[in-house]
């Protein structure tokens, strides 16, 4: 039986399986691993790389043991995990196209659709949806080094979406909305 999941990475990590929040995924390391795999879906991630990335200050053997223990905890907490993850002896891969709703992917899709849309009204609709999706920073409680470039990339995409939305509002003579968006930009990047 196949199920669908909705995952939120903007703000606090949340994973809901068929509408029910999966409890027990509160470990920062587990959330970080799942987010890392999701943001690189469907590319296989070598176990050796993951072990080194998440436990850089331990021996290789200890890092691999830590990864095995974390995967064991994941399977215990979320038995359906292997419907979505392919956990092999060499690689771990988030399976593509298996009913995943990811807020970050939806955000990026809305921004992309806005950029390719010729109709400014439709482009504005996509931008508004993208801006609504990005209410908080990408996993603000994650302090792993790998997330810093992801945060910066997504933040820049978000700022460009606000800027593009403000430009469309200005061209449509909707100056109040354009000014509000510009103020939001200034609050986020005062030196911009």
Q: Do 115 and 90 share a structural domain?
A: no
Domain stops at, among 98, 120, 139 = 98
Q: Do 107 and 91 share a structural domain?
A: no
Q: Do 92 and 135 share a structural domain?
A: no
CA atoms within 13 A on the CB side of 9: 25
Q: Contact, 9 vs 103, CB < 8 A?
A: yes
Treating both helix axes as pointing N-terminal to C-terminal, what angle do 28-39 and 60-77 enclose, rounded to 10 degrees? 90
Q: Contact, 2 vs 98, CB < 8 A?
A: yes
Q: Do 15 and 93 share a structural domain?
A: yes
Q: What span, in angstroms and rounded, lies between the C-alpha atoms of 41 and 20?
A: 23
Domain stops at, among 47, 67, 98 = 98
Of 190, 136, 113, 156, the C-alpha closest to 13 is: 136
Q: Do 86 and 16 share a structural domain?
A: yes
Q: Do 134 and 65 share a structural domain?
A: no
Q: Do 85 and 16 share a structural domain?
A: yes
> What pLDDT is attached to residue 135?
82
> What pLDDT is attached to residue 3?
64
Residue 56 Ramachandran class (φ > 0 left, ψ -120 to 50 alpha, else beta): alpha
Q: Do 184 and 144 share a structural domain?
A: yes
Domain limits for position 92: 5-98
> What pLDDT is attached to residue 1?
43
CATH number at residue 89: 1.10.10.10
CATH number at residue 160: 1.25.40
Q: Do 81 and 158 share a structural domain?
A: no
Q: Contact, 4 vs 13, CB < 8 A?
A: no
List the alpha helices (DSSP H) in 117-146: 120-133
pLDDT tens for 62-103 read: 999 999 999 999 999 999 899 999 999 999 999 877 778 999
Quote the number of domains for the chain. 2
Q: Do 70 and 40 share a structural domain?
A: yes
CA 190 vs. chain centroid, Å, equals: 25
> What pLDDT is attached to residue 188?
87
Residue numbers in the chain where pLDDT is lower than 50: 1
pTM here is 0.89
Q: Do 183 and 134 share a structural domain?
A: yes
């Amino acid at each position: 039986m196949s199920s669908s999941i909705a995952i939120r990475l903007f703000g606090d990590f949340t994973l809901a399986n068929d509408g029910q929040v999966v409890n027990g995924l509160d470990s920062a390391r587990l959330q970080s691993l799942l987010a890392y795999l999701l943001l690189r879906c469907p590319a296989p991630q070598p176990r050796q790389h993951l072990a080194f990335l998440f436990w850089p200050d331990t021996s290789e053997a200890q890092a691999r043991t830590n990864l095995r223990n974390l995967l064991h905890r994941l399977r215990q907490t979320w038995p359906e995990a292997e419907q979505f993850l392919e956990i092999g002896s060499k690689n771990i891969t988030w399976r593509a196209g298996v009913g995943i709703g990811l807020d970050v992917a939806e955000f990026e899709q809305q921004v992309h659709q806005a950029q390719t849309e010729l109709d400014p009204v439709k482009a504005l609709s996509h931008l508004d949806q993208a801006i609504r999706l990005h209410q908080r920073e990408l996993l603000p409680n994650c302090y792993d080094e790998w997330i810093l470039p992801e945060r910066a990339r997504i933040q820049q995409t978000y700022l460009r979406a606000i800027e593009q939305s403000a430009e469309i509002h200005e061209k449509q003579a909707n100056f109040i909305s354009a000014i509000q968006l510009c103020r939001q930009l200034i609050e986020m990047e005062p030196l911009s």
